[in-house]
């Protein structure tokens, strides 16, 4: 049995999320079905994270154990051939030690949220970004975001369906920058709660629109009350961008 590490890119629009489920297609199912057609094995694919319906992946890390003797490059090519026409691509494939685990070995995860700040409707980016027509003050958004950096109880920014044992997380980075009519939010942490990034972005957007003062974000964080959440941003603009592993892994 060989363990293969995969780097996966996908457009989340056609999927119910990463995780296999009974009521719709998933990224995990697409890769597992492709692996079965190649090897005849019912192999489970494990990922660094579980993105929701409509959320995208630029470099999701995953692993799969296969008995078939196959070179990593050939497996990557075969998976990509069998994944068509699903919008999923294997960008890299490598053999890793048996104790390397895409989820449990991961020591850091990063997301990017893309906002298109213009009045004209989205065309090819529909479903790939969140359009906010009102002018956004990205500097105010960045200032407000800094209150969330560090170790906090993120109950306010946690989905009611979150299954994590604790709402406490350490947010390593939450930066907001503008690039012409794009406002990008960069978030990094060891792990995130369900809907945490989207909830944080939604509140920062309220600050950017002038509907909330900068200090309001710190106040709703301290409230530890989901009812205080101002807005949950849509999944369209959210991208899983990186999974970090120890150098030895």
**Residues 57, 198: Cα–Cα separation, whole Å:** 15
The Cα–Cα gap between 178 and 116 comes to 10
Strands 56-66 and 2-10: antiparallel
Does residue 27 contact residue 58 with C-beta atoms inside 8 Å? Answer: no
Beta bridge partners of 225: none
Query: What CA dihedral angle connects 178, 182, 183 and 186, to 10 degrees?
Result: -90
The rounded distance, in Å, linking the Cα atoms of 29 and 65 is: 15
CA distance 134 to 121: 12
- The SS3 call for residue 228 is helix
- Residues involved in catalysis: 52
The answer to whether 173 and 188 have CB atoms below 8 angstroms apart is yes
Q: What is the CA radius of gyration of the chain?
A: 19
- The residue length of the chain stands at 249
Whether residue 112 contacts residue 21, with contact meaning beta carbons closer than 8 Å, is answered with no
């Amino acid at each position: 049995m060989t363990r293969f590490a995969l780097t996966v890119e996908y457009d989340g629009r056609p999927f119910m999320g990463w995780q296999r489920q009974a009521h719709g297609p998933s990224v995990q199912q697409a890769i597992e079905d492709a692996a079965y057609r190649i090897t005849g094995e019912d192999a489970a694919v494990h990922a660094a994270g579980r993105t929701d319906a409509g959320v995208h992946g630029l470099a999701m890390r995953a692993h799969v154990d296969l008995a078939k003797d196959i070179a990593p490059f050939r497996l990557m090519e075969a998976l990509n051939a069998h994944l068509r026409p699903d919008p999923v691509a294997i960008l890299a494939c490598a053999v890793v030690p048996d104790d390397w685990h895409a989820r449990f070995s991961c020591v850091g995860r990063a997301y990017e949220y893309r906002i298109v700040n213009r009045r004209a409707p989205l065309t090819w980016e529909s479903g790939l970004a969140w359009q906010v027509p009102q002018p956004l003050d990205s500097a105010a958004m960045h200032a407000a975001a800094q209150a969330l950096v560090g170790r906090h109880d993120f109950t306010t920014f946690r989905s009611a369906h979150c299954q994590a044992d604790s709402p406490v997380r350490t947010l390593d980075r939450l930066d907001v920058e503008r690039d012409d009519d794009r406002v990008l939010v960069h978030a990094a942490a060891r792990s995130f709660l369900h809907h945490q990034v989207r909830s944080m972005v939604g509140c920062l957007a309220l600050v950017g629109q002038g509907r909330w003062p900068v200090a309001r974000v710190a106040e709703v964080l301290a409230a530890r009350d989901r009812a205080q959440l101002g807005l949950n941003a849509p999944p369209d603009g959210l991208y899983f961008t990186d999974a970090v592993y120890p150098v030895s892994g």
